[in-house]
Every structure is written in C-alpha cells, then in structure tokens.
Amino acid sequence: MNFDTQTPDSLMIREKINDLIAFAAVAEERSFTRAAARLSVSQSALNETRNEPTGTLRIVAAEYAIESILWPKLSPVLKKYPSVNVELVMEYEYTDLAQAHCDAGVRYGDQVAEGMIAMRIGPDERMICVGAPPISRPVACRTSPES
C-alpha cells in the first residue's frame, strides 16, 4: 500500500474531518487555548477554523446515543450557529455510512468499518438485559414465542 498517493477526494475528506474535530474541541472546551492544548496544536493553527461553520452534517446513530450523547452536545452548538444543519438518522442496525450518505456514525464498542476513523465521544455505558421470570427458566429449546 502506497501512502504517498492520495486522491484529492481523500485529502478533502481528511480536511473536513480535521475541521470537525477542531470545531468540536473548541465547542466542548469553550476556549481556543484549551482546545489547542487538548489537540496538541498551536493556537494559530486552530484559529484557521474560526470562520463560522455552515452546511449540513448527517449522523446515523441509535436512539439512545442521539438522546443521551449527541443532542445534549449539539443543541447549544446549533443555537449558536444557525447556518449549521444536523440530520440525525436513527438506525438500530449496522449502517454503511457511505451508502447511507452520512458524514458520521455513532457505534458501540469496536464496530468500525475498514477505512473509518474512530474516536470516543462518551463514557462507557453499562447495559443490562431483563425479562419476566418464565423467560429466564432453563428449557430444552424454545422454538416459537408461544413456548
């Protein structure tokens, strides 16, 4: 694999991803200085992203991620930057981001397709499975919902 050969499209995508990461860091830190320190870049390099953002960002995620992680963080940003539109696509199954025309996706664990870049956006979540007592009793093999 030759990493020196990059298409203009791949360079543009990388620039957009870097801009989104910088934008998110500034929004979360509420400070260019702290965001620059967090990203290990100079403040002047980070200031290049200071123009007001505009455009549409399409994100696919499960309902829980939208309600508990994305919306609380995006809501104040959208109020501050009215020219930014965010489309949240609620999906419970694994979605091919390129095929669904999505810019980003929220996944649990390590469910990341080849060629995608993963970054943590929230804390570890604890999940539990519950059911009525008859369901949890050991039986030979349930072959239908009625059994």
Domain ranges of the chain: 1-51, 54-147
The model's pTM? 0.55
The answer to whether 105 and 97 are in contact (CB under 8 A) is yes
Tokens 């809501």 sit on residue = 75
**CATH number of this structure's domain 54-147, picked from the four choices 3.90.1520.10, 3.40.190.10, 3.40.50.720, 1.20.120.160:** 3.40.190.10
| Residue 49, pLDDT score | 62
DSSP β-ladder status, 104-105 and 55-61: parallel
| Residue 24, pLDDT score | 83
- What residues pair up with 89 in beta bridges, in sequence order? 60
Alpha-carbon distance of 147 to 145, in angstroms, equals: 5
Indicate the SS3 state at residue 129: coil
Helix (H) or strand (E) segment spanning residue 87 = strand 84-90
| Residue 138, pLDDT score | 67
Residue numbers of the chain with a pLDDT score lower than 50: 1-5
Give the contacts of 18 (CB within 8 A, at least 6 positions apart).
none
Indicate the SS3 state at residue 95: coil
The answer to whether 38 and 12 are in contact (CB under 8 A) is no
